[in-house]
Amino acid sequence: MPLLSAGRMALRLFVWLGLLLAVMPAFAQGTDELLPVTEAYKLSADASTPGVLKLHWTIAPDYYLYRGRMTFKGGDGVTLGQAQLPDGEKHHDEYLGDVETYHRGVDASIPYAVAAGSTRLKLGVQYQGCHEVDPKICYPPHTEQLDLPLPVGGGADTTTPAAGSLGAALSQLGSGNGHPAGVVGTPLPAEQAFRFEALAQGSHQLLLRWTMPKGYYLYRDQTTLKLRDAAGLDLKPAWPAGSPHHDEHYGDVIVYFDQVELPVAVEGDLGDRTHLTLDAGFQGCQDGGLCYPLMTRSANIDLAGGATATGETVETAAQVLPPMRTGLIAALLLALGGGLVLNLMPCVLPVLSIKAVSVLESGESRATARRHALFYTAGVLCSFATLGLGILALRSAGHALGWGSQLQQPLLVGALACVMLAVGLSMSGLVQFGASLGNTGAGLAARSGPAGDFFTGVLAVVVASPCTTPFMGGALAYAFAAPMLTALLVFLALGLGLALPFLAIGFVPALARLLPKPGRWMETLKQVLAFPMYLTAVWLVWVLANQRGADAVGLVLVAMVLLAMTLWWFERSRSRGAASKALVIVLAIATLAPMYLLAHVPPSSRAVRAVEGVVAYSPGKLAELRAAGTPVFVDMTADWCVTCKANEHTVLNTQAFRGLLQRAGAVYMKGDWTDVNPSISAFLQQYHSPGVPLYVVFPKNGGPGKQLSTVLTPSAVEQALTEAAR
């Protein structure tokens, strides 16, 4: 009878949920007067211009579109650049905050590149809008899949996202035979395809360096060099021997593959100059693919210290290749120390509580303690190796990824929140995972035995990724620039440091004897340690709110409730029949439905609010401030970065820091990397930073920026800003 009663209750619950889901769309529309979404917003596309897709929405009267809710995703072999959209009408939305909207119509243009041999342009266009008079409703986000024919000759001769649209003549370049290119892939952004550096080798001698990935080359005769505001000074470059190349438009030319270093003599009286500003214009191609338009980079060169610049941002010579200042042994030691300190970080402590309880429960059994230590270490090392190799492989393929960037994926954040909830419920004693759920993520992390130890190590690595320590920056920078095998050793050293305390307890009897004896008090301790797990789940939901907004939070909360229901019924079904156990499977599948929807929630409109002098980062704004002689403190951060939040609490969000900015006449510029942001990723790459936080202080005299430690102190920040204001 109890089973029948519970089944009836469950049936009623599903009936009511079904009725609610059926009624909600009808309630949302409420009247036949509302247009279908494709009639309210008629989308037309024009791909007749090579390299540029033009879109137009015709918006019906009394309807509007949100500017910030438009997203574009390229199909297979299609790389999209930054969409060009006009400014919209600004107003405050009750639910979305400050927004921009379009009425009547709007045009957008999107630069794109396609793989060689492509004849079709495929992409997804998502947008959202509302009806602004009664009945006032908003449509859910709507996606249209476009499949357009490419213009003749536009299959592989299109633009890169970074470069903008190319003309017909330039789009035909780069099909020469000077270098074995193999299969032509999707073109890289110009900043990645042609890395430019400039430094002083003496007061009258400069060294310029271009570095290209395999399959890219630079034209010698399309390069121009000019000093800014330097009357009476001349530049005499001494080009090294290059590779002969026949070009369809330029004829017989000289090009450079891989890397070229160009000595440049500075002739004339320097007087009391300590810096030179060099404007370099150059052009290059992807071998067998497209050519880039003329690129211009500016370098502010310190004649005394040897400074370098790439693009609009200036770096010191010591920052050009920081890994070269760190040997392998030093990097391994730094990584070991960084992993050890990770044990003290708040993002890792909740998971370590699971391991602490298991070690205490092992009592005086030396074999059990060693088993705990070894399988936990194996989980940590395997996870670090997988994470490191995955990041390095994707970065080598041209993707901008770094330490902790996996938490830019909302689905992973939501899944982690559910895992933390499940582990917390287990530690609270509300559910005991057995063999039947031994293969689920939460079960593996919470169960005893080798599998539980191994996957506790996996979970520790996943939640450790938002944290960095004072020793990790140099080690990770070395790993990201080193060969794959060497990088793997650095990541394994990080893992060894993280696992070291439990290895010591398992293999050093003297340390094990310091642990308290098992007893009834341990059950209370286990239940107390469940609460950090719940708080970690709350933090992850907060991160998700900043990434995808209230809709995503609602979905992950529903998933967490359904997960709790699944675990509750799992406990009740242990001694019941097959029908009761089948309901566990149904509830588990229902838990996955909100997570599936979460993966399709569009990004929310995020911007750093300009309060108390905080300016949102953009390359153009930074260049403008530097040109005006304004010191700038650049802070690259993310909501999931625990180290970033600690620095903000102790240094950056204090009255002392605001007073320091005011005295230095400096601007506080913040970049938010919580979600994927190509311009911030490019800035991180320029400073060889493996992730956030990254702090760079630019002086008012236009000199190179000074990179600070990932862990800030008030004295270090004060010294950097004081020097920048001189």
> For 103-156, what is each residue's pLDDT tens digit?
999 999 888 888 777 788 899 999 998 888 877 788 888 889 998 888 764 443
Reported as type and span, the H/E element at residue 207 is strand 205-211
**E-state strands within 60-96:** 63-66, 71-74, 78-80, 89-93
CATH number (3.40.30.10, 3.20.20.70, 3.30.360.10, 3.30.470.20) of 614-724 reads: 3.40.30.10
Question: In whole angstroms, what is the distance from residue 362 CA to residue 366 CA?
Answer: 8
What kind of fold does domain 190-311 have according to CATH? Immunoglobulin-like (2.60.40)
348: burial class by Cβ within 10 Å (0-12, 13-18, 19+)? buried
Q: What is the pLDDT of residue 638?
A: 87
Q: What is the mean pLDDT of residues 448-474?
A: 72
Highest mean pLDDT among 410-424, 429-443, 455-469: 410-424
Q: Are 635 and 670 in contact (CB under 8 A)?
A: yes
205-254 residue pLDDT tens? 888 889 888 888 999 988 989 888 888 888 999 898 888 888 766 678 89
pLDDT single digits (tens) 521-576: 667 777 887 888 888 889 889 888 888 888 889 999 999 999 999 988 888 887 77
Mean pLDDT confidence for 601-629: 74
Q: Give the closest residue to 467 by CA, choosing from 400, 539, 414.
A: 539
pLDDT of amino acid 279: 87
Please report which confidence band the pLDDT of residue 170 belongs to, taking 50, 70 and 90 as the band edges.
Answer: very low
Rounded CA-CA distance 53/448 in Å is 56
Evaluate whether 38-149 and 614-724 have a shared fold: no
Domain chopping of the chain, boundaries = 1-30, 38-149, 190-311, 325-598, 614-724
Whether CATH 2.60.40.1250 fits 38-149? yes
Higher pLDDT, 434 or 547: 547
Element (H, E) at 299: strand 295-302
Q: Give yes or no for a contact between 603 and 69, defined as CB atoms under 8 angstroms apart.
A: no
Convert the pLDDT of each residue in 268-322 to its tens digit.
Answer: 888 878 788 888 989 888 876 667 777 888 888 877 644 444 444 333 333 333 3
Q: Is the pTM of this model over 0.75?
A: no
- Confidence at residue 27, expressed as pLDDT on a 0 to 100 scale: 39
Structure-block tokens of residue 35: 């247009």
Q: Name the nearest CA neighbour of 283 among 233, 249, 320.
A: 249
pLDDT for the residue 105: 92
